[in-house]
Structure 1
């Protein structure tokens, strides 16, 4: 293998380059990025950048020292065996890493809607978060909550519109999301649940109910779709992203996939997972690089994510799909620090959500990895450390 092309210059792409070199690949590497900016981190966009704490999140990686040919402002257009088609022409490759990430979903309507995916998006949005500005946020998921947090802190009048019965509904489920509802009122943010958007208008939103929400700016945070349109018609199998096995191999020889666009098979959970989180972009490239170079490697993490919203550090680890019940550690109504555990019928932890309980998160992630059974009575007591709930 002489030439490896990495498509996508985000964190997953950069880490793929680093992993290739770390595994001893001495051939040519070309890194292609659609944006004109040097590779940067995305999580701070909705946090530090939006809050005005920094203007840059460039990834700390010396691409020159790694001997990488960086092609910015270049988009992938198509793929056939051994050839990548781009807006700048064709590139032949021996190995290919697909790391094109995801693109935000937009609502219908004639009005301008802000999304938050790129550094340019974040800087443009930050410029309108001024005292007194009326900001309508569509979606009370992770991004919507973080945008609302920044807007409220900037002194804006914020309304969050959510189609579901609770914030974080699709990510965590209604029972977990309902515990976060009071956070909005405490921050002075109006939260409208069960509200479907009909259209985005030049002066705000029109709901399906006919109600109007006047706003100086609308921010849409209703999710993303894998950026894989350019792969349609190729030999790469697609279904909610790029289908990959537990080694991150795709259906096309010498092609692997990482990051938000990869839908890989998890041995741990016995199902496919596509995880749109920073931790995946950080960890998956090592497996992908090893696989591409003919080594035996399996990607099977316990997914992890964090969010900073309304003055709280919210962390999540695991996958709740296999759980049979939920158990609370602490009282969200009385205690600012609490955790929620997803358990199987035989009391094995599959996922944990923590609010300002970092030790629970660290220990809980290890318990999920280890698969130990827990004493649910002790687990319900927040004064008992989670590791002391493990049954002998």
Structure 2
């Protein structure tokens, strides 16, 4: 979405304001020529950029100013005040820049500046002549775009097993499934985008083998592609049920756009659904199906949803939130069989259902990499530059297990923003930049009108501190291991989430 979608607010900056109205290190929302403008002051310099994030139209004026950058409060995209460039995912497009004029203590925002591509950095010696990207998801798409943005002019081939071009996967379980977002909002780019940038995007391309010694990949159709550098971004596959009836036609999984389309089609006639698993995907699907007025039952083995990841207090809140919207939970049990009209639980209970959605987790798609001899341990092991055990082969996204500077441990995270940021870093390192991947993990989860934001990574914690009241949907939860913060969860405290991210970055800085 462009930076002109929001209602205008603040002063008309074309008419001018006193310089004293904006302090050093402060931001001010205004408008000019019918466009919302963010005015920011950094020392003696003033910057004016589009005030709306190019990701989901978040209000940048409510974000955080960090040096000569501003971070979006919704999903933590970051933009340059000087150039408007999108510096960090999930935003991929820049915001506009405007000329600021100062005279006699009055500043005015004048004309919109012509956008210019950021100057490409000099490429290191030994830059690969051809690059193959396996995977057309978050990491793969971000890597391809970054390579071109960095000035790489060699051959880029993106091999995606998906039949659809790169798309906004988080929306598949949220607004698109709920019926509040049209499908034309889902693709990240148009087909012409890739053609115009010389990115050879091959869809439905199933790779069957990687020969790391010969530097080539073999496809199921018998074709072979050679590479000088390879990025593995194959993502993850849903864990599937292995119970009687698991292959019934009304049993669905949600990983791809095709999966979501099938669910949307089925939901148009469904009356009662059973969601197997109280994962993020499972609960977001539950909320989206309730938005379609479908009766929803959630079956999960835990005593409260999301407790392992977010703790008992947040788990209780999520459970209550869904129950307020009519979801019925069946916790502490599992599904033992499915037939065309119902599911049977381990407890012996039978639930009538004409739609079953399974969300019991995913597994990283690492088989190709392992067969090629890459070292793995619950994911493909990479160093701080996202390079695998084989020189010239990098990995990013759901399959990569990397050294986290915050915890000192090797971690693997299955979240969209992390995958995009790793794709961006991997691309620069393929070009020889030697850039450490030290971004703090971030994700968001949407349940009805409640968005939960989470920064950091707490696989284990000893205690939590809660500021505010979870039940009133206004809180910050800090997860500790010993005396060290591991993660911060917020509800309706976007600025505090950004500040927590920044604090983690300073803690993990070399």
Distance (whole Å) between structure 1 residues aligned to residue 496 and residue 322 of structure 2: 24
Secondary structure at the aligned position of 2:287 is classed as helix
Equivalent residue runs for 1:1-392 within 5 Å = 1-52=128-179, 53-56=181-184, 57-60=186-189, 62-81=193-212, 82-88=215-221, 89-108=223-242, 109-110=244-245, 111-112=248-249, 113-130=251-268, 133-321=271-459, 323-333=461-471, 335-346=472-483, 348-371=484-507
Distance (whole Å) between structure 1 residues aligned to residue 188 and residue 359 of structure 2: 24
Distance (whole Å) between structure 2 residues aligned to residue 132 and residue 231 of structure 1: 40
Displacement over 6 Å in runs of 4+: none
Larger deviation, residues 136-145 vs 227-236: 227-236
Query: What is the TM-score normalised by the length of structure 1?
Result: 0.89
Secondary structure at the aligned position of 1:371 is classed as helix
Give 5+ residue unaligned stretches, structure 2: 1-127
Quickly say closer, same or farther: Cα 1:169–1:77, change in 2 above 3 A: farther
Secondary structure at the aligned position of 2:371 is classed as coil
How many pairs are equivalent?
Answer: 370
Secondary structure at the aligned position of 2:196 is classed as coil
Q: Is the 8 A contact 1:349 1:371 kept in 2?
A: no
Secondary structure at the aligned position of 2:373 is classed as coil
Secondary structure at the aligned position of 2:386 is classed as coil
Larger deviation, residues 198-207 vs 75-84: 198-207
Secondary structure at the aligned position of 1:263 is classed as strand
Q: Encode CA deviations 1:198-248: one digit per residue, 9 max, x unaligned.
A: 233332322122221221010001111111223332121222221111110
Q: Is the 8 A contact 1:141 1:169 kept in 2?
A: no
Distance (whole Å) between structure 2 residues aligned to residue 240 and residue 190 of structure 1: 34
The aligned residue for residue 15 of structure 2 is none
Quickly say closer, same or farther: Cα 1:120–1:137, change in 2 above 3 A: same
Secondary structure at the aligned position of 1:120 is classed as helix
Distance (whole Å) between structure 2 residues aligned to residue 68 and residue 296 of structure 1: 23
Distance (whole Å) between structure 2 residues aligned to residue 3 and residue 199 of structure 1: 49
Secondary structure at the aligned position of 2:348 is classed as coil
Secondary structure at the aligned position of 2:501 is classed as helix
Q: CA RMSD in A?
A: 1.8
Quickly say closer, same or farther: Cα 1:204–1:106, change in 2 above 3 A: farther
Quickly say closer, same or farther: Cα 1:240–1:199, change in 2 above 3 A: farther
Secondary structure at the aligned position of 1:96 is classed as strand
Secondary structure at the aligned position of 2:176 is classed as coil
Give 5+ residue unaligned stretches, structure 1: 373-392
User: Following TM superposition, by how much is the alpha carbon of 1:73 offset from its aligned partner in structure 2, in angstroms?
Assistant: 0.9
Secondary structure at the aligned position of 1:350 is classed as strand
Distance (whole Å) between structure 1 residues aligned to residue 311 and residue 131 of structure 2: 41
Larger deviation, residues 110-119 vs 145-154: 110-119
The aligned residue for residue 95 of structure 2 is none
Q: Encode CA deviations 1:266-299: one digit per residue, 9 max, x unaligned.
A: 1221111111111112211222122222221111
User: Following TM superposition, by how much is the alpha carbon of 1:144 offset from its aligned partner in structure 2, in angstroms?
Assistant: 1.0
Distance (whole Å) between structure 1 residues aligned to residue 141 and residue 302 of structure 2: 36
Quickly say closer, same or farther: Cα 1:132–1:43, change in 2 above 3 A: closer
Distance (whole Å) between structure 1 residues aligned to residue 239 and residue 460 of structure 2: 28
Distance (whole Å) between structure 2 residues aligned to residue 70 and residue 214 of structure 1: 43
Larger deviation, residues 348-357 vs 273-282: 348-357
Distance (whole Å) between structure 2 residues aligned to residue 332 and residue 284 of structure 1: 32
Structure of greater relative contact order (alpha carbons < 8 Å, 6+ residues apart): 1
